[in-house]
Amino acid sequence: MASRLLHAAVLGPPGSGKGTVSQRVAHSFGLQHLSSGRFLRDSLRAGSEAGDMARQYLEKGRLVPDHVITRLMVSELELRSGQHWLLDGFPRTLGQAEALDKVCNLDLVVSLNIPFETLKDRLSRRWIHLPSGRVYNLDFNPPLVPGVDDVTGEPLVQQEHDRPEAVAARLRRYKDAAKPVMELYRSRGVLHQFSGTETNKIWPYVYTLFSNKLAPLQSREAN
């Protein structure tokens, strides 16, 4: 089993469960969970240079461009050069993957393939607490009180791009951008794809994959 540092990524379309899978991997194997969405929210709150750049796009209802997200993520990775880590939702595009190459090489890339209808249903049932980024699903992870965040009691919102009429276009954009990323990592022999409709059924296979690279925390604690 490898003793060197493990650098991995979990990729998948919106609603694929990559955040949940990433949290489980991080918890089970002691990897730093590096979420591009969380870092973006933190940078917006902190008023950092990258956050201010992102805000200019978000206030106009536009997607934050590659170079801003890449700058944000690369600066975070440079702070963690001596750690195991797991990227959640990055790189999304070939430009981001090429920028990542200049910092490090990924050892393992997990791609979650979820049927379109499942994604559409999940996203249309998804509500978010914007300040924290906590995500709720009305079917399998509902808030304790409808429409209210469990922790703060603040209101939840459904983002415009999660509304049923916007989901199809959003998923198409993801697929077009992700295709060359998947081809790149497949050509390097580090891509592992998992298909299904339920995260709990996909998870054991992901766990086994990581177990072949890194001892789970429980077994390390037992030794």
pLDDT tens per residue across span 32-75 = 999 888 888 888 888 888 888 888 887 776 777 888 889 888 88
Confidence at 221, pLDDT banded by 50, 70, 90: very low
Q: Please state the rounded mean pLDDT for residues 115-140.
A: 84
pLDDT at residue number 91 = 95
Percent residues over pLDDT 90 in the chain: 44
Longest alpha-carbon distance in the chain: 54
Give the separation between CA 84 and CA 5, rounded to whole angstroms.
5
* 3 pLDDT tier (thresholds 50, 70, 90): low
Per-residue model confidence (pLDDT) at position 219:
58
DSSP three-state, residue 89: coil
Q: Is the pLDDT of residue 94 over 80?
A: yes
With cut-offs at 50, 70 and 90, classify the pLDDT of residue 22.
very high
Q: How many residues does the chain have?
A: 223
Q: CB count, 10 Å around CB of 177?
A: 16
Pick the more confident residue, 132 or 213.
213
pLDDT over threshold 90, residue 24:
yes
Annotated binding site: 15-20, 36, 41, 62-64, 89-92, 96, 126, 135-136, 170, 199
Backbone dihedral region for residue 89 (phi beyond 0: left; psi -120 to 50: alpha; all else: beta) = left
Place of tokens 């954009």: 173
Q: How far apart are the first and last CA of the chain?
A: 15
- pLDDT score for 60: 72
Per-residue pLDDT band for 1 (boundaries 50, 70, 90) equals very low
Average pLDDT across the chain, whole number: 87
Given a contact cutoff of 8 angstroms between Cβ atoms, the answer to whether 191 and 111 are in contact is yes
Pick from 85-94, 133-142, 173-182: least confident: 133-142
150 φ, ψ to 5°? Answer: -60, -35
Residue positions forming the annotated binding site for AMP? 36, 41, 62-64, 89-92, 96, 170
Residue 194 CB burial class (10 angstroms; 0-12, 13-18, ≥19): buried
pTM over 0.75, yes/no: yes
φ, ψ (nearest 5 deg) of residue 10 = -115, 120
What count of Cα atoms within 13 Å lies in the side-chain half-sphere of residue 24? 17
In the DSSP assignment, the letter for residue 64 is P
